[in-house]
């Protein structure tokens, strides 16, 4: 009987060694997909929803590529509004330089001077929201947010507003947040 146990133990050891060798030979990598895989059509609705499982930085980067809108804490959706939106013409030249309001989303994460025609505005508690190019709730607008100021003096319709600061995206809307309204230049 001891010989049988030794043979069995030897067989188990050989089997385990071969399994460990086979498992050890397999490597996993997180490299970019091959070119053939990249050319596959991606459904942006499904891809945006799947970003919830990705690390935050990677999700933001991929969301920007796909055009996803952040709808919650690491939750993304692809805008599926089927109503056609009339594009507003871009400003040909900005007062004092800078980029046009409708280009701002492309510069999210950078500090820029952004200009555009005042399309509307509103208040929420002590905060003021100024919409350039298009008015709320159009997600194609650019928004200047001025925190904790109560209200602003009236601004003439058709005026062009410019401000500088870091451009962020809030629910897909590019914006610059300010605490000092004197940082807004008004051109009539």
| DSSP, residue by residue, 33-76 | PPHHHHTS---HHHHHHHGGGS-HHHHHHHHHHHT-EEEETTEE
Distances (CA, A) of 26 to 16, 23, 29, 79, 148: 16, 5, 10, 41, 58
Rounded to whole angstroms, what are the CA distances from 116 to 39, 45, 59, 132, 181?
A: 37, 31, 30, 5, 16
pLDDT, tens digit, 9 for 90 and up, residues 31-63: 434 444 444 467 777 777 777 666 666 667 777
| pLDDT band at residue 125 under the 50/70/90 scheme | confident
CB-count burial class (<10 Å; 0-12, 13-18, 19+) for 133:
buried
Average pLDDT over residues 78-87: 53
Quick one: pLDDT at residue 29? 37
Query: What does the pLDDT look like over 85-117, one tens digit per residue?
Result: 444 444 456 777 889 999 999 999 999 999 999
**Euclidean distance between CA atoms 116 and 102, whole angstroms:** 8
Q: What number of other Cβ atoms are within 10 A of residue 187's Cβ?
A: 12
Domains of the chain in sequence order: 42-77 (no CATH), 99-187 (2.40.50.140)
CA distances from 151 to 41, 79, 121, 181, 187 (A): 48, 32, 11, 10, 19
**pLDDT classification of 154: cutoffs 50, 70, 90:** confident
pTM comes to 0.52
pLDDT of 56 reads 63
Q: Which pLDDT does position 128 carry in this prediction?
A: 93
**Cβ partners under 8 Å of residue 99, min gap 6:** 107, 112, 113, 114, 115
Which of the four pLDDT bands, split at 50, 70 and 90, describes residue 23? very low
pLDDT above 70 covers a percentage of the chain that reads: 63
Residue-averaged pLDDT of the chain: 74
């Amino acid at each position: 009987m001891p010989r049988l146990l030794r043979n069995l133990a030897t067989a188990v050891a050989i089997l385990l060694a071969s399994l460990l060798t086979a498992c050890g030979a397999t490597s996993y990598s997180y490299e970019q997909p091959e070119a053939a895989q990249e050319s596959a059509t991606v459904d942006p609705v499904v891809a945006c929803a799947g970003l919830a499982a990705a690390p935050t930085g990677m999700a933001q980067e991929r969301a920007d590529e796909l055009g996803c809108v952040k709808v919650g804490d690491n939750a993304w959706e692809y805008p599926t509004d089927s109503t056609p939106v009339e594009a507003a013409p871009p400003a040909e030249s900005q007062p004092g330089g800078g980029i046009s309001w409708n280009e701002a989303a492309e510069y999210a994460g950078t500090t820029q001077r952004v200009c555009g025609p005042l399309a509307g505005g509103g208040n929420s508690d002590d905060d003021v929201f100024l919409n350039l190019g298009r008015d709320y709730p159009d997600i194609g607008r650019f928004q200047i947010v001025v925190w904790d100021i109560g209200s602003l003096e009236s601004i003439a319709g058709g005026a062009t507003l410019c401000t500088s600061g870091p451009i962020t995206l809030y629910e897909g809307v590019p914006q610059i947040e300010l605490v000092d309204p004197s940082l807004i230049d008004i051109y009539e």
